[in-house]
Amino acid sequence: MKITFITHSTCLLEIHGEYLLIDPFISNNSFFNKNHSFEKFVNSFKKLDYILVTHAHYDHVCDVEFFSKKFDNSLLISNYEISNYFRKKGVKTEGINYGSFTSFSFGKLKYTWAVHSSVFNDGTYGGNPGGFILHTDEGNIYISGDTSITNEMKLFPKFGSIDLSILPIGGKYTMDIEEAIIASNFLKCKKVLGVHYNTFLDIEIDKNQAKNRFEKNDKKLFLLNYGESILI
């Protein structure tokens, strides 16, 4: 599995030649647009198979409609309420909820609970916030979405070992670095891709200090620039 960091919490997964875009927040993201071009990004890939959305906050759903319509064979996977919201806008969706693993062409996926909130900018209820566990024959990953640390994270490795966790580390609205270290212990996971930091002034971190803190705890923290990838 190839995991490419785009910006904020937006990542692109490649599994068996299929592309999954996570929480797209690019076009109206001033941090991204300072140095990069949305148009160039859009033109950088020809195919999109799935869009995964963790919750309804604008910094996670900003470009869902755009990508769904540009790649009209793509399927949006999110909670039931977010799926309904976008289905009414003509998006192809699959609504799920906290429950069992569900099979897709890339493997199986489970919607996990998050301690956060979930509402669209227009005030529409966005269901319960969540994250995803993906089990594939190219590895298993956990995408927590925006969340505080939760005791339930201890349960997630019981479903199958986690090769990489994508966790927010910016603090204030989500976990910070120290909490993400505890979370990765709960998850029995040594590799963490940090997201949800530096995009806004109130979630700024010191990248070197963050990496050192993980290293001291016998973990590896990946902090990637736009377009950089890791393989698991």
Tell me which of 49, 63, 81, 146 binds Mn ion, using CB under 5 A: 146
**What is the per-residue DSSP string for 149-187?**
--GGGGTGGGGS--SEEEEE-S-SSS--HHHHHHHHHHT
Nearer to Mn ion, 57 or 191 (CB): 57
For the CB of residue 176, give the shortest distance to Ni ion in the complex, in Å: 15
For the CB of residue 50, give the shortest distance to Ni ion in the complex, in Å: 20
For the CB of residue 54, give the shortest distance to Ni ion in the complex, in Å: 8
Window 27-66: contact mask with Mn ion (x via CB under 5 A): ------------------------------x-x-------
SS3 of residue 212 by DSSP: helix
Only one of the segments 19-27, 90-98, 105-113, 144-152 lies at the binding site for Mn ion (rule: CB under 5 A); that segment is 144-152
Nearer to Ni ion, 63 or 146 (CB): 146
For the CB of residue 62, give the shortest distance to Ni ion in the complex, in Å: 12
Name residues contacting Mn ion, limited to 67-96 (CB under 5 A): none
Strand order of the β-sheet with 220-222 is 102-104, 107-113, 130-136, 139-143, 164-168, 191-195, 220-222
Under rule CB under 5 A, residue 176 binds Mn ion: no
**8 touches which of Mn ion, Ni ion, none (CB within 5 to 8 A by kind)?**
none
Under rule CB under 5 A, residue 23 binds Mn ion: no
The 10 Å Cβ neighbour count of residue 43 is 9
CA atoms within 13 A on the CB side of 5: 21
How many angstroms separate the Cα of 72 from the Cα of each of 105, 148, 186, 217?
Answer: 17, 34, 38, 44
Nearer to Mn ion, 14 or 59 (CB): 59
**What is the per-residue DSSP string for 38-84?**
HHHHHHT-S---EEE-----HHHHTTHHHHHHHSTT-EEEEEHHHHH
Only one of the segments 24-32, 45-53, 88-96, 146-154 lies at the binding site for Mn ion (rule: CB under 5 A); that segment is 146-154
- The site for Ni ion (CB under 5 A) is made up of 57, 146
For the CB of residue 196, give the shortest distance to Mn ion in the complex, in Å: 6
Tokens of 114: 């998050």
* Cβ–Cβ under 8 Å, residues 131 and 142: yes
Binding site for Mn ion (CB under 5 A): 57, 59, 146
